[in-house]
Amino acid sequence: MDDNNNSQIVKRIQTGDEAAFAELVEKYQRAIHGYIYHKTQDESAAEDITQEVFLAAYLNLHTLHNPEGLGAWLRSIAHHKSVDWLRQQKEASPLMDDLPANRASISETLERKEDYKQLSAIMQTLSEPNRIVVTLRYMEGLSNAQIADFLELSPSIVSTRLASDLLIFLICLPSRPPTSPTHRLLRSLP
């Protein structure tokens, strides 16, 4: 997500190059989606808000005074859109509304929800800066370098946060069968 390339992309978009906007979306979509998911904890909302962010960016690109700060500008739009969404939300629907009709699916759904609750509880023990790094790395699949660039951190800080967070996950993880989704996720971590 290099700054010179950002300047070139912005200039091309401002001259009407539609392919340049597609490049911008491709370059930042996963980072923006991960950031929004981190804020909302709602996959559907994250997808919708991500689209809103890129629409707002397209419509307001003329207000970007520093093309080198494109990532930070997009992150700011994502933050404001996420906060707006959170303000509009009511209480979550009851668990029973989300359950499928057949018994096998109910069992799997309950196990997934339990695993999600465990992972979510562990995630909440992490500091805000560490949670966003974990979300971008393991949910969005961004590299450490991409995370560092997007969050304006050094790669060594990103690596340190990920290593300490992995240790917290391993310490806090309750005893679960090695086939549970939680353990499969943790086995996939480097």
Domain ranges, ordered by start, for the chain: 3-88, 102-188
Neighbours of 109 (CB within 10 A): 14
What's residue 105's pLDDT? 58
What pLDDT score was predicted for residue 96?
Answer: 44
At 64 the pLDDT is 92
- For residue 95, what pLDDT is reported? 46
What CATH class has 3-88?
mainly alpha
- Asked if residues 188 and 175 have their Cβ atoms less than 8 Å apart, the reply is no
Burial of 63 (0-12, 13-18, 19+ CB in 10 A): exposed
- Provide the CB-side half-sphere exposure for 141 (13 A, CA): 3
pLDDT for the residue 187:
53
pLDDT value at residue 174: 60
Domain 102-188 - what CATH class? mainly alpha
Which positions of the chain have pLDDT values less than 70?
A: 1-4, 90-116, 169-190
pLDDT (0 to 100) of residue 73: 94
pLDDT at 163: 83
pLDDT in the model for residue 61 = 92
Instruction: Evaluate whether 3-88 and 102-188 have a shared fold.
Output: no
